[in-house]
A and B are shown apart, each in its own frame.
Chain A
Amino acid sequence: MTAVAPLARPARVLRLEIRRSVVPWAIPLIAALFFFDSFRTAVGFAPVWTVRSSVITSNMITDFGPFAAGLAAWVASREGRRHTGDLLATTVRPAWARQAAALGGTLFWLLLTFLIGVAALYIDTARQATWGGPPVWPVVVGVVEVTTFAVIGFAVGALFPGRFAAPLAAIGTFVIAYVGFHAALGVTPMTGTYALLSPATAVPLGDVGVFYHVAPDVAIVQVMFMGGICVALAGLVVVAGRASRWLWVAGAVLLAAGVAASSTAFALAGTAKLSMSGWDIPALHDAASDQPVPYTPDCAGTSFKVCLHPAFSLYLRDVNAALQPVAAQIAGLPGAPVRAEQVASGSGVRSVQGLPVAGTPATGITGTPPVYNISSEDPIAPLWGTGAMLAISGWGAGFAQEFLTAYVAPPNTFMPNPAQQAVVTALMTAAGVGAPQFPQADNSNGTPVGPSQAQIGAAATRFQALSPAARRAWLATHVPALRAGHITLAQLP
């Protein structure tokens, strides 16, 4: 018989649990889910670190969380299922030490698989990203979340050992994660911000973390909340077991500390405010993170320059190819932009959903000399998706349409008037970049109003038939009136 040094015993028990863990049998299933759900979803996003890393706390948790809870419950209910509680009570190891080793063995495999998945995701992103580096906070939150799922399952299995513990823990945590996700989708400063405690939320805007740092405030609160749950449940398991008096007191202290941490995090989440860098929590916020991130834009073009943030260099060639022909059509005309450049889309979270954030730069044509400002969240031609998607979706025509609409119509016009539409159509056709897609105007009953698309098309054909010099001459004279909406379809030459 080999003597085992006292300090080596816990490690030996842990090693035994790791060797005999049930989790490796589930890894192929989890890996398949990760590939289809998390990995494929991430590679469909723009190669921006913060955007791609958002799947770590959303999709990857859907893939890992239920299994973490179910398998941990299965492991924790082992002594109860096998009726070996009394037998093991005679061993020298206390129950909490056995349970800690069992949980450790389960977490070892779960977190190892999770981190391998994160590494695969980050390696793929590193091959495509043109700016920035891998964010750490999503990984920290993801690790704590998987651990929390496992601890919840473990507590269920330890407290209610039986055949239903594992599956119902898996499904229960699945439901909780989904309900949190659903609540987080609708979080606004007006409706309350407690749902920010859910790490799973909507895919962030394309330029989150690009122009401004992502403040770690929400991530800290999420870690505190989930960590509190873990500590409280660990205390509950100790208190509920047949523990000695001192152990019982220690368990009660853990329980109280966990509840306090989670309650504090809950209260902090309720104070969140929306800012340029995302959700800020005043008590945790570092004002230094509100400063813009310095960068040197990537530019293309000669007389008309197109400049994007280096994180979006992937799109520069396509944006330049889309804008140069239409920019040439209006070059030198009054108010025509001399440059196009990318600006921040507004906030780290939801400015596009009607949540205005102070300091958001205006998109469209602004300044002197005029500059065409674009953001990654353009409603027609966003800087989003992969290069292959840009090639097949008429994205370039959408970009050109947005550019010309910004020139002939007032700022933030989604639906130009018929004369403006005809001019945009004529200029795009003349530039050879395809036809714009304007919807037919209708009233509240859905009945079409104003000139039909055929009438607008006919006017556009008429305008396009003019010589380039005649078109420019007419535009040079009439652009202010056209932009103000004073030109009708019939007044177009």
Chain B
Amino acid sequence: MTTAEVRRPPAAPAPSGRWLARGRAATRLVWLHLRSRRVPAGVLSIAACALVLRAALRWNWMFTSGSLAQQLPMIIEAGAVVAVVVTSHSPFGETERATGRWLPYLRLGAALALTGLAIGVLQLGVTGGSLNGGVLVLARNVVGLTGIGLLCAPVTGGLLAWTLPVGYVAFAEYALLESWVSPWVWPVRPADDRGAWICACVVYAVGLLAFTVRGARTRLTDNG
């Protein structure tokens, strides 16, 4: 075959077909991005955390009132959060950054979607039970802890980004026992406390921004 045989370019697809193809490509891109980050397994982990939370309520593994009632739910919420933050790890590294401009948007979208999914699935797990503090405290804990994890990811890499959220939870356990009141330790504050919400959201926003712009630090030797 030679170029001489090409007499005219192939006909452009109809506008509707073009949008369909773009849509398919975008969907495929999103799916490949999520799969490369093991997001499906992350979603399963979040669901497992919701089941554990349900079991804790069902079989009274925790205090039912007072500030100490926050302790176990917070640990389990941290379980869902670490499942979110370890999906920030990319197995491709620099190569992926060179391939297009959509990567930051994909990171942003995945992090936002998984945070929302974690809140939704955990809340689904406790539906019908009486979780101390309700969905507001649950959401605030998930948002704040995810922010800490995302903030950690550009420094430690996604695979070790669980360390700081776990450390924060261990510290918050102490703060709950000692009745701390600082809004930066948001698990100790009531559900409608504005200062605690502001602190949790600020941490989340900063973490999300850092992760969106920088991404998680990547070591290609680690490919979990």
Contacts and interface: CB of A to CB of B under 8 A. Distances in A.
Contacts of B173: 37, 62
A59 B176 CA distance: 13
A166 B63 CA distance: 27
Contacts of A174: 75, 78, 166, 169-170
A178 B68 CA distance: 11
B174 A36 contact: yes
B72 A182 contact: yes
A66 B160 contact: no
B164 A29 contact: yes
B194 to A, nearest CB: 26
Interface residues of A, number: 37
A62 B170 contact: yes
Interface stretch (B14-22, B82-90, B113-121): B82-90
B72 A175 contact: yes
A163 B163 contact: no
Contacts of A77: 224
By DSSP majority rule, is chain A's interface helix, strand, loop, or mixed?
A: helix
B145 to A, nearest CB: 11
A83 interface: yes
A42 to B, nearest CB: 12
A353 B184 CA distance: 36
Interface stretch (B25-33, B37-45, B197-205, B207-215): B37-45
A414 interface: no
A167 B170 contact: no
A164 interface: yes
A59 B159 contact: no
B127 interface: no
A162 B83 CA distance: 12
B79 interface: yes
B209 to A, nearest CB: 23
Given A26-B163, A70-B162, A179-B72, A171 B61 contact: no
A163 B82 contact: no
Interface string B83-122: 1011101000000000000000000000000000000000
B163 A29 contact: yes
A175 B163 contact: no
Interface in A167-201: 167-168, 170-172, 174-175, 178-179, 182
Given A161-B224, A182-B61, A37 B86 contact: no
Interface in A37-72: 37, 41, 59, 62-63, 66-67, 70
Interface string B56-86: 1000011100000001100110110011011
Nearest to B149: A167
A175 B45 CA distance: 15
B130 to A, nearest CB: 17
B45 A168 contact: yes
The listed residue with most B CB atoms (<10 A of its CB), out of A29, A82, A164, is A164
B223 A67 contact: no
A30 B87 CA distance: 24
Contacts of B222: 81-82
Contacts of A172: 79
B221 A82 contact: yes
A82 B223 contact: yes
Contacts of A80: 224
B89 A163 contact: yes
B76 A168 contact: no
B34 interface: no
Nearest to B86: A163
B53 to A, nearest CB: 10
A337 B89 CA distance: 73
B135 interface: no
Interface in A66-90: 66-67, 70, 74, 77, 80-83
A163 B224 contact: yes
Contact of B45 (A70, A164, A179): A164
Interface in A9-39: 22, 26, 29-30, 32-33, 36-37
B50 to A, nearest CB: 13
B72 A167 contact: no
Contacts of A171: 49, 75-76, 78-79, 82, 166
A36 B185 CA distance: 13
A66 B174 CA distance: 15
A355 to B, nearest CB: 20
A175 B159 contact: no
Interface in B159-195: 159-160, 162-164, 166-167, 169-171, 173-174, 177-178
Given A59-B174, A74-B159, A82-B221, 4 more contacts: A74-B160, A164-B42, A164-B83, A171-B49
14 contacts: A29-B163, A29-B164, A63-B170, A70-B166, A81-B222, A83-B223, A161-B224, A167-B83, A168-B82, A171-B78, A171-B82, A174-B166, A175-B72, A182-B61
Interface of A: 22, 26, 29-30, 32-33, 36-37, 41, 59, 62-63, 66-67, 70, 74, 77, 80-83, 161-168, 170-172, 174-175, 178-179, 182
- Which are the 10 A-B pairs with shortest beta-carbon distances? A163-B224, A167-B162, A167-B82, A171-B79, A37-B174, A81-B224, A29-B167, A179-B61, A162-B224, A163-B86
